[in-house]
Structure 1
Amino acid sequence: MSLFWRIFLLNAVVLVLAMVMLLGPVTVSTPVLLTEAAILVVGLAAMLVANAALLRVGLSPVRRLTRAMSTTDLLRPGQRPVPDGRGEVAELIRTFNTMLDRLEAERAGSAARALSAQEAERRRIAQELHDEVGQTLTAVLLELKRVADHAPRPVQEEIRQVQETTRTGLDEIRRIARRLRPGVLEELGLSSALKALAGEFSTPGLAVHHHLEPGLPPLDEDTELVLYRVAQEGLTNTARHAHARHVDLTLRRTPGGVELHVRDDGRGPGNAPEGSGISGMRERALLIGADLTVGPSPGGGMQVRLAVPVPRTTEESR
């Protein structure tokens, strides 16, 4: 039975009962007596209450569906509304769930293509920085050294200052190239890449401590890259916004896979909305079916937790 006919029949039952009451024990005289008016008011109130109760019961699945629609976030897939009720309501909920499945699948596919193109562009830019800009600056340093060897002493000091500035710029370009394309991840593996990342972010004002558990299950290239990028983004946010003095970078094995933790002792997230960096981490987590949690740390500060499931067959084949 459709929603229209259910509501129509419920109202019809209430009106028919009211008419039967008027034709039966309840009568109205002219002029209306006070007792008759009281009976009519009470009857009208009873009809309204009954109608409201019946409509609330009949439309409760629609309210749950509305609440699910208003709270759905494709970056945070959660439970689907249960297709209870009958007829059109249940069909509407099933259609909504099917639409969510399709949207999440399409978003995951488009995000995977976008992130793959992004990584390819990062590799290209890093290669150009290393091969072209890096080599050019290296040639400039050699030329400055040759000029300094033949220049008068007062000029040599100025040339050496230019050399130091050029060398600093060359080191910065190499550092940017390493962040764009983590070569150590491809060559030495995830643990070595995370150790290098912790050392890169360690400064006199920010101590990064890494705790990398040995004996991790084998991970594919996409999973390792997601773990590395999430750790990189977490440390970047800490260095830029947290005003922290200590950061703990932890990678450990769990019964269902591996977990990555980035925890600092800074000022915490507060009421600031999530930026593009955290949204990017959520998209990467969805690509490998991982669970990302970003929020305040129990001891103060900020915490990023990435739980990556590892299929049991992969662990057993280890």
Structure 2
Amino acid sequence: MTTRIATITGYLVRSLAHLPIFYKVLIANSLIVVTGAVAGTTLTLLSTGSTEHLFELVALFTIAGTFLSVLINWIVLRAAFRPIDVLEQTADEVRRGNFHVRAPSVPLSDPDLENLTATFNAMLDTLVGYQQRLRELSQRVLTAQEEERQRIARELHDDPAQSLTALLVLLKMLHDRQQPTDGRTLQELIDLTTATLESIRAIAQELRPPVLDDFGLAAALEGLAAQYWQRFGLPVHVYVRGQRQRLSPEIELALYRIAQEALTNVAKHADATYATIDLQFREGTVSLRIEDDGRGFEPREGLGRGLGLFGMRERAELVHGTFALESEPGHGTRITVAVPLESRTQFASTTGVRA
């Protein structure tokens, strides 16, 4: 008998433990009120000596107390737990993909639950903001890809294609002559072929410099500086501080592209007489600073001028780095990026972006 009672008691305890908190509080409050009503009624009748209808009165007060307790507790607890139900419904809508839903304010709600609702709505606002930023970034990536394709197509058409056309015309002329070719014509063919090959190499170098993969970031930046001197006549001084070392491909590519975009801005927009690239290897950190003596600009306006600042910042954040921009009209521009080297191991199992 004792074992059976213990089994039943254990089953009831487990069942109550799995009930929602609403029903746990409701049952607990109801038991307290009913116990108080029964005990109070019994003691009152016994103290007065009126025990003739003791059982009937106790049963009446028990039923009435139970009904009123359950009713009042139901109303009060339902109102108190209403914000939790609202949050649950809102979270379910979010789980289904509706990120624009917000949990409404509930009248007579507990202040702590109101704060929880406000925090939940703020979290959804932040999430929607990140989604909007991601869409903008995706659009910028697509636009940049299309612009890059147009630029490559234009450069191929304007330089190598025209050179190859001229080369083809000369070869046809030689073929039509059907006579020995003089040295001057051969030299023209050699020069034209050499120029065409150099143009194609320059385009390939800009798309993906082999030196970055073969010799690392420092050598690639030195080659980039030479390239901007040849193309734009812009003197670029490169300073490498600390012990040179190979970084993860993702970090090297991100810093190289940031330097490339920054120098392009300097060459096309800054009217600068020189620029500097300062690459510093420290224990646990690599930093890159690009500085020029150009006309500068207002940083808030720069984001809307198509200067690639958004893309540079995104590249720095993708390798867990920090991006800082300092500029003002008439005083040049300085871009500083710092990347923690301990993050390099985090990229070992991910697919790097090759751009």
Per-residue deviation, 1:266: 0.7
Query: Paired residue for 1:196?
Result: 223
Checking the alignment, whether the CA contact within 8 Å between 2:326 and 2:333 is kept in structure 1 is: yes
Per-residue deviation, 1:212: 1.7
Checking the alignment, whether the CA contact within 8 Å between 2:297 and 2:328 is kept in structure 1 is: no
- Do the aligned partners of residues 259 and 108 (structure 1) sit closer, same or farther apart at CA in structure 2, a change above 3 Å counting? farther
Q: Which has the higher contact order (CA 8 A, sep 6+)?
A: 1
Q: TM-score, normalised by structure 1?
A: 0.54
Query: Paired residue for 1:100?
Result: 126
How many residue pairs end up in the alignment? Answer: 225
String of CA shifts for 1:30-75, please: whole Å, max 9, x gaps. Answer: xxxxxxxxxxxxxxxxxxxxxxxxxxxxxxxxxxxxxxxxxxxxxx
String of CA shifts for 1:105-161, please: whole Å, max 9, x gaps. Answer: 896699699969x88x989x98xx99xx96996797488479569699xx9979977
Query: Paired residue for 1:303?
Result: 334
Q: TM-score, normalised by structure 2?
A: 0.49
User: Which sits farther off after the overlay, 276-285 or 159-168?
Assistant: 159-168
Match of 1:288 among 311, 314, 319: 319
Query: Paired residue for 1:91?
Result: 117
2:273 paired with 1:245: yes
Checking the alignment, whether the CA contact within 8 Å between 2:276 and 2:291 is kept in structure 1 is: yes
RMSD: 4.8
Uncovered stretches (5+) of structure 2, i.e. residues with no partner: 1-110, 346-355
- Do the aligned partners of residues 269 and 122 (structure 1) sit closer, same or farther apart at CA in structure 2, a change above 3 Å counting? closer
Per-residue deviation, 1:308: 0.9
2:294 paired with 1:266: yes
Per-residue deviation, 1:182: 2.0
Per-residue deviation, 1:210: 0.4
Question: 2-side partners of 1:101 and 1:310: how far apart?
Answer: 29
- How do 1:30-69 and structure 2 match up within 5 A? none
Task: Name the aligned partner's letter for residue 123 of structure 2.
Answer: N
- How do 1:145-294 and structure 2 match up within 5 A? 167-203=194-230, 205-216=233-244, 218-270=246-298, 272-274=301-303, 275-276=305-306, 277-294=308-325
Checking the alignment, whether the CA contact within 8 Å between 1:251 and 1:260 is kept in structure 2 is: yes
Per-residue deviation, 1:196: 0.7
Question: 1-side partners of 2:213 and 2:344: how far apart?
Answer: 24
Uncovered stretches (5+) of structure 1, i.e. residues with no partner: 1-84
Residue 302 of structure 2 aligns to a residue whose secondary structure is coil
Task: Name the aligned partner's letter for residue 207 of structure 1.
Answer: P
Query: Paired residue for 2:21?
Result: none
Task: Name the aligned partner's letter for residue 310 of structure 1.
Answer: L
Checking the alignment, whether the CA contact within 8 Å between 1:141 and 1:167 is kept in structure 2 is: no
String of CA shifts for 1:180-205, please: whole Å, max 9, x gaps. Answer: 12222122221211111111011484
Question: 1-side partners of 2:132 and 2:341: how far apart?
Answer: 23
- % identical equivalent positions: 31
Per-residue deviation, 1:236: 0.4
Question: 2-side partners of 1:183 and 1:108: how far apart?
Answer: 31
